[in-house]
Amino acid sequence: MIDQSGSETNPYGVWTQTDLYAAQMAGTLKAITSFAKRIPPPSSSTCPTIIDIGSGNGILLVEIVKQLLAIYPLDSIHLISIEQSLEMLAAAQKYCQESISIPIVFTPICSKIQEITTQQLAEVEQYYPNRSLIIEFWIF
């Protein structure tokens, strides 16, 4: 479980317990599962990449990975988390590492998406040629 003693992670932890969040998560997971079934990774040995913009504490990201693992026998996964709060990035990384059953590579990028630097963008773009399974999504 994520230590939610931090000032920034606490309100988000409360939000993820609401019925509205649960409904939003269900719809998001359904859409991502449908997308993943239509566009599978080339093989289970390929390390797919998920880019999560505004990942918060990582709860939704973990659920997405679990949905993908229910469809495909992946050996590992690369997660790129773009989040403006260092505290939330740390919480997301910790939660992903504790909750995902396969090896993960976690690339944290602390930035608002509209303020992402050229170097940070280059970190993201280096994974685009793979294109095995890249999911980008916005959660408001």
Q: Are 32 and 117 in contact (CB under 8 A)?
A: no
Ranges of each domain in the chain = 9-138
Q: How far apart are CA 92 and CA 103, in angstroms?
A: 15
The mean per-residue pLDDT over the stretch 21-41 comes to 86
Q: What percent of the chain has pLDDT over 70?
A: 79
The residues pairing with 107 across neighbouring beta strands, listed in sequence order, are 80
Quick check: 133 and 65 in contact, CB under 8 A?
Answer: no
Check residue 46 and give its pLDDT: 73
pLDDT at 110 over 70: yes
Q: 13 with 2: CB under 8 angstroms?
A: yes
Q: For domain 9-138, give its CATH number from 3.40.50, 2.30.30, 1.10.760, 1.10.10.
A: 3.40.50
For the cut 70, the answer to whether the pLDDT of residue 129 exceeds it is no
Mean pLDDT of 45-72: 88
